[in-house]
Structure 1
Amino acid sequence: MDSVECPRGCREPSNTKEDTVKDDFTPSKIGTKDYWDDAYQRELQTFKDIGDVGEIWFGEESMARVLRWMERERIPENAAILDIGTGNGVLLVELAKSGYTNLTGIDYSAASVELARSILQTENISNVEVKEVDFLNCPGELSCFDLCIDKGTFDAISLNPDNTEEGKACYVQALRGVLKEDGLFVITTCNWTKEQLLQMFCQGFGFVNELPTPRFQFGGKTGNSVTAIILKRLH
């Protein structure tokens, strides 16, 4: 499996308290649906040809990090879990292999959904639902999840050249709509720091925890190239 520690086009945040919610990166085609339709169509064809599942955003360790947290927190195996922007569905595969039984993955790319379903079928995993859904435009279509996981989708939305601020606001609203009260949200990002995320998700969410991620030093400062935090939906 290929892996990428940071999706192409993202920046490396400094994770300093001085960071604000202001964008300091350039919008990119990576934030467009056309880009992902083309990318997953290529990955789907590659999977059909040679069985390669394609890229894993942030690498396999990013999945292991979330799974270790779920085990520590004793997330029930029957918890309703939503993978937002499932891509190739590899996270769903790992969750199912870890014993979780109530799994749903969504993506707005039809090719992504077909790829994820194909990979799940190859792994003989049949109790996972994968839907073609635009998370920013699905009022009432999804609800009552105990846990939502995002590994790069909010990053892509943040890079959309059109209506970036509207997209981020719609994301926060959609997340509130799909999570139960006291439901948990795990986000892994290379665009945003902890402080920035807390600002953007301040309406209706509370901070729970930050997961350890790789650290780097540059110019006498220490930071993280990836941020992973847990939020809770407030009443």
Structure 2
Amino acid sequence: MSETEFSSSALGTKEHWDVVYSRELQTFQEYGDEGEIWFGEGSITRVVRWLNAQKVPLTSSILDIGTGNGMLLVELAKSGYSKLLGVDYCADAIALARSICEKEGVSQSIHLQVVDFLGTFGPSELFDICLDKGTFDAVSLDPNGGEDKRSQYVQTLCRILKPNGFFIITSCNWTKDELLAQFGEEFEMKDELLTPTFSFGGHTGRSVTALVLQRRNCS
């Protein structure tokens, strides 16, 4: 999607996500349904598989930006990772994630915090790895200055990620080249995770992009 084609929507507002997670929390409380997994379970498997293949230490500090129901962190905890933090600006999303973590028996490995990543988030220590599965997409759709919010996102990310740390992003709104254009000044591409392809009109493409970017060491 090009910059000129990109438009704002309700998906970029906190009000929208407050409604979504209020409903999903109620559904979980009534029926035990954990809710939607953005981009499907395969999006979680790709991230966990890459971390395992790279033999990333299980003690690495990992941040999930816009954690939602926290299912990515749950799978990381089940894989043995123990220093996990999920943040979301929706209180009901964190309440849902906390309930799911308790149900799955991984609460000891996962910390959860209600906080605005672009606003008041100020961790005491830098992270080894930051994960994003759809949050940058939502930020990009903010009707109140999506372009400024994207810039602010990159600045916050650089502030809380260690030099040479990894940023793994999954997006359905931006292509690989577009993501590299937005993050490339501070990051270099380490890997591209394979996502499902589709064919239309004789052309093949991907509806989801998943990249591993590495923070440049500016020292």
Please give the TM-score of this superposition, normalised by the length of structure 1: 0.89
Higher relative contact order (CA 8 A, sep 6+): 1
Matched, 1:42 2:23: yes
1:203 and 1:222, CA in 2 relative to 1: closer, same or farther beyond 3 A? same
SS, match of residue 100 in structure 1? coil
Matched, 1:215 2:197: yes
Matched, 1:161 2:161: no
SS, match of residue 54 in structure 1? coil
- The CA distance in 1 between the partners of 2:154 and 2:145, in whole Å, is 14
**Partner in structure 2 of residue 10 of structure 1:** none
**Partner in structure 2 of residue 195 of structure 1:** 177
SS, match of residue 162 in structure 1? coil
- The CA distance in 2 between the partners of 1:95 and 1:187, in whole Å, is 16
Task: Please give the residue correspondences for 1:76-87 in structure 2 after superposition, counting only pairs within 5 Å.
Answer: 76-87=57-68
Where does the alignment leave 5 or more consecutive residues of structure 2 unmatched? none
**Partner in structure 2 of residue 116 of structure 1:** 97
- The CA distance in 2 between the partners of 1:51 and 1:113, in whole Å, is 16
One-letter amino acid matched to 1:177? R
SS, match of residue 81 in structure 2? coil
Matched, 1:234 2:219: no
Task: Please give the residue correspondences for 1:1-235 in structure 2 after superposition, counting only pairs within 5 Å.
Answer: 22-127=3-108, 128-138=110-120, 140-141=122-123, 143-235=125-217
More divergent stretch after superposition (116-125 vs 34-43): 116-125
CA contact (8 A) 2:115 2:121 kept: no
Shift in Å at residue 30 of structure 1?
Answer: 0.8
Shift in Å at residue 139 of structure 1?
Answer: 5.4
1:100 and 1:23, CA in 2 relative to 1: closer, same or farther beyond 3 A? farther
1:142 and 1:36, CA in 2 relative to 1: closer, same or farther beyond 3 A? farther
One-letter amino acid matched to 1:132? V
CA contact (8 A) 2:67 2:86 kept: yes
One-letter amino acid matched to 1:42? R
CA contact (8 A) 1:88 1:119 kept: yes
More divergent stretch after superposition (92-101 vs 211-220): 211-220
Question: What is the RMSD computed on CA atoms of the aligned residues?
Answer: 1.2
- The CA distance in 1 between the partners of 2:151 and 2:118, in whole Å, is 9
Shift in Å at residue 203 of structure 1?
Answer: 2.1
CA contact (8 A) 1:143 1:180 kept: no
**Structure 1 residue ranges (4+ consecutive) displaced by more than 4 angstroms after TM superposition:** none
Please give the TM-score of this superposition, normalised by the length of structure 2: 0.95
Deviation sequence 1:75-134 (CA, Å, 0-9, x none): 110000000000001111111001101000000001101111111111121221000111
One-letter amino acid matched to 2:130? C
Where does the alignment leave 5 or more consecutive residues of structure 1 unmatched? 1-12, 14-19
1:61 and 1:220, CA in 2 relative to 1: closer, same or farther beyond 3 A? same
1:185 and 1:142, CA in 2 relative to 1: closer, same or farther beyond 3 A? farther
CA contact (8 A) 2:98 2:107 kept: no
